[in-house]
Each structure stands twice: as structure tokens, then as C-alpha cells.
Structure 1
Amino acid sequence: MEKYFKFLFAVAILLMIGLPGCAGPTLNVAPVAISDNPTSKIFELEDTLAEGRKQQIHVLSPTWYAKAADYLEKARYGLANDDSVAGILQNIAYGHAHFDKAKEYALIAQSAISQAIKARDLANAAGAASLGEDYQKVEDEFKTLTADIENNNLSRAEKNESQVAQDFADLELRAIKENTLGEVRNLLATNIHNGAKKLAPKTLQETEKALIDADLFITQQRYEREEMQNKANAALFQAQRLGQIMAASNALKTMSPEDISLRQESQLHQLASELGSRDLRNEPTDLQLQSILESVVSLQEDNQYLKEKRHQEMLEFEAKLTEKQSEIDSQRQQIAALEGQSKEDQRARELIALQEKETKARLESERHFQQLFNEVQGLFAQDQAEVYKQAKNLVIRLKAMQFPVGKDLIMPNNYALLSQVRNAIRTFGNPDVVIEGHTDNTGSAAINALLSQNRAEAVRQYFIANGTLEAEKITALGYGPERPLAANDTPEGRAINRRIDVIIKTEMSNH
């Protein structure tokens, strides 16, 4: 019965968007005023496609989304080569029209093949893309479903959805057992071989228990997918932790008790110094640790205070804007009340005054943006980041941001760079920010797409955890190898393409 209602809903949508059987769907192209600024319109279409990617429209309606992206590239090319404004705006209009059609088909897909979509998301979260050809085979089956929907063959998509969903579920289970638990077993075996039973027996016992619990749960509760993944990740964490305990235990074997104490003291003193705390090495270790913890709490409270202060300043700014608007409205009423003026004269005066005001506001906004742009540029050394303008946005390309091969772990040596990015973001108050992850084309496109998304999300979570912005103000997008800056046929080119871009949506973007 549920399938029947889903089918009726999807058919209703098809009828509303006007799919006339074998004929192609009607494309509604909204007219674009020739007076519109082509740069701003390109920026607007870029934002629209980025938002569509967040909603997975590029996956659910790949053909129409790709056409929209092609028109965006045509518009960019036209702008770079001084094509006519009319031609650039026409490409932008067609880009929006194709994207609108992609949204319509994505809506149908979300209803007609919802189970396959969910199963695919879970399989990707489990790292199923690493299964190579087996994953690609099921991914191709999924693409066939979306192609059937785009070709108005809804019944065939509905018919094949269950099998595709099951295939993704099988891949998910296999990926968890082969990737996550397989890595746990390998780490466990290596550490046991290296003497874990003597060096870290308690941690070893915790790791073995976590592995047994995860394996048993996955076998017995294969449909509790989220908890299944959580238990697998917990087992992997324990195995990695065991390795670190082993390394520390091995290092301590050759040290005297005094050397061990001095090492601990040095680590605590380094933390205290970074936090600006006084030197407490003449005090008990517990007191030193407590001082560090209190300093951290104090910093967190300071961050919260700054966040609340920014919010209050924003409210005060908005109140001032409202007050200024009231003054403007009052002045307009006074002008209207002046005797001896015709309505035409009054409108002309108002128009001139408004144009002058808008021009002054725009120039002031541009001047302010240039000032902030120069300030942000000064935060980074040439080998750290490249800062440039992209339409009305500011882009920080993190040249020095490096991840371990195949991982999304932010290494400690990147914290200072990310702290500078935090300062850059705060320069613009409380802006919206997009974190873009990019890779080279080495390996599977599916793996690269997932890796770039996870790396962008790791940076996003870092900024959220450090109180840079609220979660809803930061978006993470992974583009994989789709947007290379250099050719991928040299090590240098591939290194350039592996990058994180931080895009700050400046105040000007809303004007």
C-alpha cells in the first residue's frame, strides 16, 4: 500500500511538471533583464548549484544538474572572454532553468526510490566506495534508477528500487566488517605481536571486548545501521588507542623515574605556557593539571562571551538600521508635504536622493570590503594561504593544509593555520561560510568525493567546536576531483588540486 501511494504521489508530480510521454519535458526559462550585473548573476547561480549539491540534487537528477553546471561554465567562459552581456545572462537563465528541472526530478526520486537513497547514504558512510568494482556495479544500478526517472520510466525505477536498496545494504555490512573491523583486527594482531599483553593488558582487554561487541551486534542486528556503525567506530578507536598506549609504554621502558616525571612536567608546562598560566612546576602535578583545565574553561567562557557580544552588536546594528529607515520615511513624508511641488518633481527628487544614497552605500560597502580584504590578506604568509575575491565573496585557499593520505584527520600542525582562518572569519562579523574539499583524480571518483566531503566536514566541525560560528552558519561541500586547478599528470599538479577552500560570504553578498 505504501508503494502504491508513493507511486501516485510521484505520478502527480510528473503531471504537474508537464512530462508529455516520449516528448521532452517543457523547459521554463525565466527572462533576465539585460541591465542585470553578469558577475552577480554568475555568483547567484554558483550559490544555487552549491545548495543543490548539499541536497544531493546532482545525484538524484544527474543529467539535468550537469546541464545546469555546463551553462554555468559557459557563462564563466563568456565573462572571462568579454562576450556580450546578453549572451552571458542567457546562459545563466538556461542554467537556472535546467537546475529547476533537476529539482523537480529530484523531488520525484526522493519519493519514488527513497529506500534506495537511504541505503546508498548508509553504504557510503560505511566506506563502501572502497570496495571498488563491486561498489561501482551497484552505483551504476542506482544511476539507472535516476535515469529511468529522468526518462519518465517511473514504473521501472519503482520495480528495481528494492533490489538496489538491498545491494547497497549488503555492501554496507561488508564494508563495515572488511574496512573498519578488518582494520581493528589487523591493529590488534600487530599490538599483541609487539607485546600488548605485558605492556598494556587493560587497554588490550578493552579493545578485544569492543571488537567482540561490534562483531556480534553487526551479525545479529544488521538493520540497526547507525548503531552498527557506531560500534564499529568505537572498536576502531579503541584499537588505535591501544597502539598509542603501546608506543608510550615502549618509550617509558627505557626511561628512569626522574626522566618520566620531567617529561610529564615538561608537557604540562608547555600547555600552561601556551594558555598564559603562571609557572607551577613547584606545585603538585594535580594542581598543575587543574590550573590548565581552569584556563581552558576560562577560554571557552571568553569565546561564549564574544559570541554573545557579536549577537548583541548585530541586534544593535539592526535597531540602528530600523531607526535610520524611520528617519528616511519621515523625510519622505516631509518632502511630500512641501507645498508648490508637483508629484512628478517629488518623485524625481526622491529618486535622485535614493540613487545617491544607494551609490554612497555601495561605494562605502566596497571600500569597507577592500579594507577587510587587505586585513585578511595580511594574516597569511604566501606559503600558508592564497586570499582572493570571488565575485562578492572572499576565498581563502589553504595551501599549507595537509591531511594524512586517505584520511580526514586534522593534524596538530594545522591548528595555527586554522586559528588564523578563524580570525579572518571573525573579521566579517557573523558571515555564512562554505568549506570546500577538493582532491586530485588518483583512485576512485566515489572514494575521492567521500574523502573530500569528510575533510571539509572535519574543518567545519573544528570551527564549530572552537566557537567560530554557529553550526547552521557553516556548510561543508566535497567536490572530489571535479574542480582541478592544475593538470593531474604531475605530482605538483596533484598537490595543488588537493586542497581546502574557505569561502566567506561577505556582507556585500547580501546587497
Structure 2
Amino acid sequence: MNTKLNRLALIGLLLIALGVVGCVQSQVAGTGVTAGKTAAVMDNPVELVNRLSSEISQARMDQLNILAPDTFKKAEGAFFSARKDLEAGNEIADIRESVAESRAQLEKAREIAAISRTTLTETIKAREMARNAGAIKFEKEYQRVENDFLGLTRAIERDNVSYAQKNRDKVIDRFRELEVRAIKEETIGEVRALISRAESEGARKMAPLSHSQAVEQLNATDAFISANPYAKEEMHAMAKEALFKANRLVVVNELCNRVAEMKPEEIAMIVENHLHTISESLGAQDMRDQPYSTQLANIVGSVDSLKSDRAFMAEKNQTLQADMEALKADYQAKIDALNVRLATLEGQTREDRMAKERLARERMAVEQRLAAERKFNQLYATVRNYFEPEEAEVYKQENQLVIRLKAMRFPVGKSVIMPENYALLSKVQKAIRTFDEPRVIVEGHTDTTGSNEINMMLSQQRAEAVREYMIANQTLPPDGISAVGYGSERPLASNATAEGRAINRRIDILIIPQVSPI
């Protein structure tokens, strides 16, 4: 690898001497990187720590902190040590040592996690089903089962697979008991409460069809759960449908009560206004003088046009990608030709060549670092102007950009992204696209209210909701954006005050620019 790097460095100098314009573009494939990027990373302690930060976040997403808890803790500890050395300006050798230790522990954790997944396949599934059903709200009972589960994974870490095999069925049964209880007491309980609320507001009379549908779904779900406690997928699907119909009943009934007090023209004007608002947002023609069916067709046509335009842009992007591949091939041909010239150079001793290669490599590293810093500072200044002070705090963390979404709000205890957040997230999308195709990590954080398990799961769900929003809007491909929840592990302020807790409940967006060789 060193020989290849040295040859590429010398090629860089020859390109300058020969007046060749442009730079060789490297292509990342999966997790592999080119030799130029490897050299840049090895010479740049900031990039070393940033890459490790992404790897730690990905490990959490892969649940290594659960499937190999003690080993992952060692990996995270070495990462914190590397970051502390970086912030203190310590020797790069110390940083590399901590990074290497962290990665070694991560690799070990991955191997252990693979064994845990194989040994505890059904246990892991039972745990996820219980958590998805809301079992973590039974704090003490859930924590006891969770501790038993961690006892299984820690036994595997200690090479005691037989213990995990012997005790896994007990843990599965306890998770399933909690799951059924959660579905009945939490999901079905919420359905009952919603239906009762609608009934108190006259739903039986005002929305009889929606009411009967919600009640029928509730009764069917309750009976099915009792009769089929292990039909997990069907149980979840029915419970989800019951909750949907109960929420829909509340909405329909509220609208019926509102409409009942209106005159026919007022109702017609509301419908017209809704259609017109959508048309204006789409930039469609004002057709309020046409029948409602024509106005609706106008909206659908505009949406179809936008879909077609998006498909065209995707096709155009593929064409540009092909052009980039062609350019890459052309540059490679030039490099091959220069390699031939290098092989024929005379009058240089081996020591001369090594010295020149070393100097060239050092020069490339410095030039790349300075160019990257200049570009990053320019983009940082640009992105800061996207946000109002009350919307987000934008700051630099080494060569990462952090956008702390101060105005991001979720319903209490939920991870649903509400429409009032769309404008803010659009600005986040714009900020990400400013960096071309960076690596992005969405971090979810909570205060200390509630149990650690609830906070950890809620922060993960909210981070994943933001990630899915970005992917759905084609901000980045799925492998370019990660989501990780930290619960209350990383507070910014004291949780002893309401103000401090409000600061700690947050979504952070980390934008990590790609490193490209000059």
C-alpha cells in the first residue's frame, strides 16, 4: 500500500509539472476507499476520529451495545479517549493507538454479536416485538426481563453459549407475556379511550358508520389477542388497524360536529379553499370556476407531473454518474501512461526517489487539508445563513458540521413528525445538499424524565423518523444517513430544571464531508 501511495504522490507532482489540469477522482464503493483517501485519513487525526464516530454510531444501530455489551463498552471507551486526545491536541500516535484499540474491540463485538444473533434469534425477535408493543412502559417488569436478556448476551461474550441456550426460552416467554399485556393494556386501552372520547362528543349520532367500524375492530382485536397470544404479526396488524380507526373516528366526529353548525355554502367554501390551497402549493392553475371533480383532476395531474419530473432528474443523475465513470477511466489511462514514464526515468538513486516521494506525499496531505478547511469554512458560513437563531444552532465540531434543531417538536412520548416541522427539515435538506454527498448522522436525545429504556427507545425512534423523512425526500441514499438514539446519556444542561430538560430534548444533525484527494 505504501509503495502505491508513494507512486501516486509522485504522479501528482508530475501532473503539476506537465501542466495537466484537473484532479483524479476517487470512487467510494461500499465501505472501501481508494489509496488516496487512505493516505489522507492516516495523515489527518480529525478524519480518523470522525470516521470512528460514524463506526460507533453504526455499531449502535446494529445493536452491538446490546448483543455484545461489555465489548462494545470497551470500544466506546477507546473512542472517547481518542476524541479527548484530539481535543487536547495530543500526539497523533496516541490518537491512532486509541482508534486502533476501538476498532479492534468493535470487530470483536461484531463477531460476538453474530454468535448472539444465531444463538438468540427467537429471543431477539421476542424482545423487539415486546418493545414495539410498548412493553417498556412497564418499567420495573421490563427491566427485569431486559437484565435477563443481557445476562444471555454477556454469557455468550464469556464463551458460555450453553448457558444462553439453556435459559433463552424462559426469556422468550417473559417477553411474550409483556408484549400481550402491552398490546391489551396500552394499544387497546388507548383505542378504548379514543372511542369513549368520541362517544362523549356524540359520535354514535354524528358519525355512526365510523363509530361502528372502530368498535367492531376493537372487539375483533381484543378477541383475537385472547385466542391467539402467539400470532404476533396478525396481532400487531389488527391492533394497529384498531388504533387507526379509533383516531379516525375522533377526527371524523369533530368534523361532523363542526359541519353541523354550518350553512351549506360555508361547507362548500371550505372544500373549495382546501382544494385551492393545494393547487397554489403545486403551482397549478386556479380552477375554482370549474366543478370539484375538475379541480381534483387538476391537482392529481400536477402531482403526476412532479413525479415525472423527479423521475427525469433521477435518470439525469444516472447519466451524470456514467459520465463520471468515463472521466475516471480517462484519468486512469493518463495515470497508466505516467506510470510508464516513471518506470523509464534515469539518473535517480533509490534514496532520491524515496525522499521525493515522501515530500510529495507530505505536500499533498497539507494541500488537501488546507483546501478542505477552506471549503468547509465557506460551506459552514453558507449553512448558518439558512437558519434563524430560534430554529437551529449551527456550529463546527472539528471538520463536522452540527445542526442542533432547537425548533424541532414531537408530540409527547411519540416519534411522529408533525407538519409544522416540515419547513425546518427542508432547510436541513438544503444544508445537507450544500455538501454534495456527505455522511450524515441523526442523533436523538432526551432528558432524564422516565426510565432509561423508554428514553433510549424514544430517542432512537425519533432519530429514525427524521432519517426516514430524509430518505423519502431523496436527500441522501439510505446508506449515506444513519440514525442513533442516546436517550439521556449525553445531556447539554442540568436535568434539575425545566429549562435544562428542554435543552436536552433535541435532534442533532451531524454532517461529515467526504474527504477527496487533491
SS state of the match for residue 464, structure 1?
helix
**Per-residue deviation, residues 53-86 of structure 1 (Å, max 9, x unmatched):** 1111100121221122222222222332334444
Match of 1:188 in 2: 195
Match of 1:256 among 253, 263, 275: 263
Whether 2:381 is the aligned partner of 1:381: answer no
Whether 2:298 is the aligned partner of 1:291: answer yes
Cα distance change, pair 42–467 in 1 and its aligned pair in 2 (3 A): closer
Query: What code does the residue aligned with 2:135 have?
Result: A
| Correspondence 1:362-441 to 2 at 5 A | 362-441=369-448
Query: What code does the residue aligned with 2:108 have?
Result: K
Whether 2:285 is the aligned partner of 1:275: answer no
Shift of 1:278: 2.4
| Correspondence 1:197-212 to 2 at 5 A | 197-212=204-219
Query: What code does the residue aligned with 1:204 have?
Result: H
Shift of 1:133: 1.3
Match of 2:339 among 329, 332, 337: 332
Shift of 1:404: 1.0
SS state of the match for residue 508, structure 1?
coil
Match of 2:137 in 1: 130
CA distance in 2, matches of 1:332, 1:285: 70
Single out whichever of 347-356 and 184-193 deviates more from structure 2: 347-356
CA distance in 1, matches of 2:270, 2:382: 40
Cα distance change, pair 309–364 in 1 and its aligned pair in 2 (3 A): farther
Q: Provide the aligned length of Structure 1 versus Structure 2.
A: 478
Query: What code does the residue aligned with 2:228 have?
Result: Q
CA distance in 2, matches of 1:392, 1:256: 61
Q: Is the 8 A contact 2:368 2:517 kept in 1?
A: no
CA RMSD, Structure 1 to Structure 2 (Å): 2.5
Match of 1:161 among 139, 149, 168: 168
Q: Is the 8 A contact 2:437 2:514 kept in 1?
A: no
Whether 2:124 is the aligned partner of 1:117: answer yes
Q: Is the 8 A contact 1:366 1:508 kept in 2?
A: no
Query: What code does the residue aligned with 2:338 have?
Result: Q
Shift of 1:342: 5.5
Shift of 1:335: 4.0
Q: Is the 8 A contact 2:373 2:399 kept in 1?
A: no
Q: Is the 8 A contact 1:42 1:92 kept in 2?
A: yes
Shift of 1:115: 2.0
Shift of 1:402: 0.6
Whether 2:109 is the aligned partner of 1:102: answer yes
Whether 2:253 is the aligned partner of 1:226: answer no
SS state of the match for residue 186, structure 1?
helix
Whether 2:490 is the aligned partner of 1:489: answer no
Match of 1:9 in 2: none
CA distance in 1, matches of 2:517, 2:258: 56
Shift of 1:476: 2.2
CA distance in 2, matches of 1:242, 1:279: 33
Single out whichever of 350-359 and 177-186 deviates more from structure 2: 350-359
CA distance in 1, matches of 2:439, 2:42: 28
Single out whichever of 92-101 and 336-345 deviates more from structure 2: 336-345
| Correspondence 1:48-87 to 2 at 5 A | 48-87=55-94
**Per-residue deviation, residues 468-488 of structure 1 (Å, max 9, x unmatched):** 233343322222112222221
Q: Is the 8 A contact 1:303 1:467 kept in 2?
A: no
Question: Identity over aligned residues, as a percent?
Answer: 44
Cα distance change, pair 311–35 in 1 and its aligned pair in 2 (3 A): closer
SS state of the match for residue 462, structure 2?
helix
CA distance in 2, matches of 1:482, 1:309: 44
Q: TM-score, normalised by structure 1?
A: 0.86
Single out whichever of 463-472 and 116-125 deviates more from structure 2: 463-472
Single out whichever of 82-91 and 233-242 deviates more from structure 2: 82-91
4+ long deviations beyond 6 Å:
none
Single out whichever of 359-368 and 454-463 deviates more from structure 2: 359-368
**Per-residue deviation, residues 328-383 of structure 1 (Å, max 9, x unmatched):** 33123234335555566566666655655555455444433333333222211122
CA distance in 1, matches of 2:298, 2:400: 42
Which runs of 5 or more structure 2 residues have no equivalent in the other structure?
1-40
